[in-house]
């Protein structure tokens, strides 16, 4: 049984560890220091590095880790990440024999042009997905390199994973994202309830991640572009009825960029 552990990095990044039988694979090590400290303390051995996209807060620790541990490095084939030994594309499946785990690769462009997610159907009984900066708790990544249509399509691929799938994103943004979600859907009991729970968690210093596909489908405005309330909110921003879900998505993504 593979265990999933989280390490903190920088202000609000999570580095995820997949652990079994004395080995760990690490997802998005933006900083090597917390990973090295973990390995030292636990005695676990590093067996692989997985990168979701090329941003420094996700791959900044790669060189230092590789210098110490020459392990396979998986990453998006469409992005230039020094150290990646196994370039991947959507539809690929990787095998991590040390931790007896298979992961399916989902292409999720939008935040960056080659962004990938790692989906483990066998993890946590119900499956888990490591989605970097694509889907966040109650939000989604900014569009640095992709179009709204690409990002909306990428989010739709994650939205159709089984509802209990746990979502391990790379940042603790849930509480501020929910402030925006409440403005988009002020009448949503689900968003109100989640905001209260998340406020309690954060006040107690607890992480809000992992979240689940189920929870995101209920409260994340970026997964709810077909919901009448979200469409209406987008229409009020645009001054007309959005033509489709992509236009709704684009309108609320743009709105969020200016929100605070």
Provide the binding-site residues for Fe ion, judged by CB under 5 A: 57, 133
Residue 83 contacts residue 66 (beta carbons within 8 Å)? yes
Supply the minimum distance, in Å, between the C-beta of residue 133 and Zn ion: 4
Which of Zn ion, Fe ion, none does 247 bind, CB closer than 5 to 8 A by kind?
A: none
Going by the DSSP 8-state scheme, the letter that residue 31 receives in this structure is -
Active site residue 58: yes
> Which of the ranges 9-17, 27-35, 54-62, 152-160 carries the binding residues for Zn ion, by CB under 5 A?
54-62
Nearest to 95 by CA among 78, 120, 114, 124: 120
Tell which one of 19, 54, 55, 157 touches Zn ion (CB under 5 A).
55
Tokens 């941003």, residue located: 55
Active site residue 53: yes
| Contact status: 216 vs Zn ion (CB under 5 A) | no
Residue 26 contacts residue 16 (beta carbons within 8 Å)? yes
| Contact status: 133 vs Zn ion (CB under 5 A) | yes
Supply the minimum distance, in Å, between the C-beta of residue 118 and Fe ion: 15
> Which of the ranges 31-39, 126-134, 151-159, 244-252 carries the binding residues for Zn ion, by CB under 5 A?
126-134
Residue 85 contacts residue 73 (beta carbons within 8 Å)? yes
Size of the site for Zn ion (CB under 5 A): 2
Active site residue 92: no
| Catalytic option among 28, 31, 57, 153 | 57
Active site residue 111: yes
Which of Fe ion, Zn ion, none does 231 bind, CB closer than 5 to 8 A by kind?
A: none
Smaller CB separation from Fe ion, 56 or 70? 56
Nearest to 123 by CA among 222, 240, 198, 16: 16
Supply the minimum distance, in Å, between the C-beta of residue 58 and Fe ion: 6
Supply the minimum distance, in Å, between the C-beta of residue 91 and Zn ion: 22
Kindly state the helix (H) or strand (E) to which residue 105 belongs, with its residue range.
strand 101-107
| Catalytic option among 28, 31, 54, 111 | 111
CA-CA distance, 199 to 111, in Å (whole number)?
27
Active site residue 115: no
Burial class (CB in 10 A: 0-12, 13-18, 19+), 44: middle
Active site residue 126: no
Residues in the chain, total = 260
Burial annotation 52-80 (CB, 10 A radius, 16+ → b, else e)? bbbbebbbbbbeebbeebebebbbbbbbe
Which of Fe ion, Zn ion, none does 216 bind, CB closer than 5 to 8 A by kind?
A: none
Active site residue 57: yes
Smaller CB separation from Zn ion, 11 or 125? 11
Distances (CA, A) of 140 to 134, 165, 172: 5, 17, 12
> Which of the ranges 8-16, 53-61, 177-185, 233-241 carries the binding residues for Zn ion, by CB under 5 A?
53-61
76 three-state secondary structure? strand
| Catalytic option among 133, 153, 201, 214 | 133
Binding region for Zn ion (CB under 5 A): 55, 133
Residues forming the active site: 53, 55, 57-58, 111, 133, 171
């Amino acid at each position: 049984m593979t265990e999933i552990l989280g390490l903190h990095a920088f202000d609000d990044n999570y580095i995820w560890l997949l652990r079994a039988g004395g080995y760990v694979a690490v997802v998005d090590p933006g900083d090597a220091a917390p990973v090295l400290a973990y390995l030292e303390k636990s005695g676990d051995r590093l067996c692989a590095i997985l990168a979701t996209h090329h941003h420094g807060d996700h791959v900044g620790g790669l060189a230092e880790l590789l210098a110490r541990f020459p392990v396979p490095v998986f990453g998006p084939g469409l992005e230039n990440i020094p150290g990646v030994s196994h370039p991947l594309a959507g539809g690929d499946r990787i095998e991590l024999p040390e931790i007896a785990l298979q992961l399916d690769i989902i292409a999720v462009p939008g935040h960056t042009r080659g962004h990938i997610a790692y989906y483990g159907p066998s993890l946590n009984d119900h499956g888990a997905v490591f989605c970097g900066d694509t889907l966040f708790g109650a939000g989604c990544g900014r569009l640095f390199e992709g179009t709204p249509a690409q990002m909306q399509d990428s989010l739709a691929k994650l939205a159709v994973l089984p509802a209990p799938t746990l979502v391990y994103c790379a940042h603790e943004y849930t509480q501020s994202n929910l402030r925006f979600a409440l403005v988009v859907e002020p009448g949503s009991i689900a968003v109100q309830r989640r905001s209260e729970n998340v406020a309690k968690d954060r006040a107690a210093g607890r992480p809000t991640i992992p979240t689940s596909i189920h929870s995101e489908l209920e409260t994340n405005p970026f997964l709810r572009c077909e919901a009448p309330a979200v469409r209406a909110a987008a229409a009020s921003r645009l001054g007309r009825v959005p033509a489709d879900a992509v236009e709704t998505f684009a309108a609320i993504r743009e709105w969020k960029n200016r929100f605070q």
